[in-house]
């Protein structure tokens, strides 16, 4: 099993990014109903490592965990922003 994030939707395709950095353009109709941008899919891989998109499963809890993790870090980063106009 591996996780793939739906990076974006481009017309009939969903662009998925694997946790290993790989990118895949998959026809949206092959993915579970309800797949949107930012969805996280749990996907099984065959022996050669090829994802089985037809068997993909939406993992809402993993999506929530990732967003919370990112927002927590963003909150830390925002403390470095002095605000207002900036001269570089």
| Contact positions vs another protein (CB under 8 A) | 5-8, 10-11, 13, 15, 17, 19, 21, 23, 25, 37-40, 63, 66-67, 69-71, 73-74, 76-78, 80-88
Shortest reach from residue 88's CB to another protein, in Å: 4
Please identify, using beta-carbon distances, which residue of 29 and 47 lies nearer to another protein.
29
Q: Is 37 left (phi over 0), alpha (psi -120 to 50) or beta?
A: beta
Distance CA 29, CA 19 (A): 22
Whole-angstrom distance, CA of residue 57 vs CA of residue 42: 5
Residue placing its CB nearer to another protein in the complex, 37 or 52: 37
């Amino acid at each position: 099993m591996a996780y793939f994030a739906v990076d974006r939707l481009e017309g009939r395709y969903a662009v998925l990014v694997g946790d290993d950095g790989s990118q895949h353009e998959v026809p949206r109709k092959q993915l579970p109903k309800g797949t949107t941008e930012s969805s996280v899919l749990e996907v099984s891989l065959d022996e050669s490592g090829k994802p089985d998109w037809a068997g993909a499963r939406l993992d809402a809890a993993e999506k929530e965990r990732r967003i919370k993790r990112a927002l927590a870090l963003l909150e830390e980063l925002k403390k470095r922003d002095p605000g207002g106009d900036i001269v570089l």
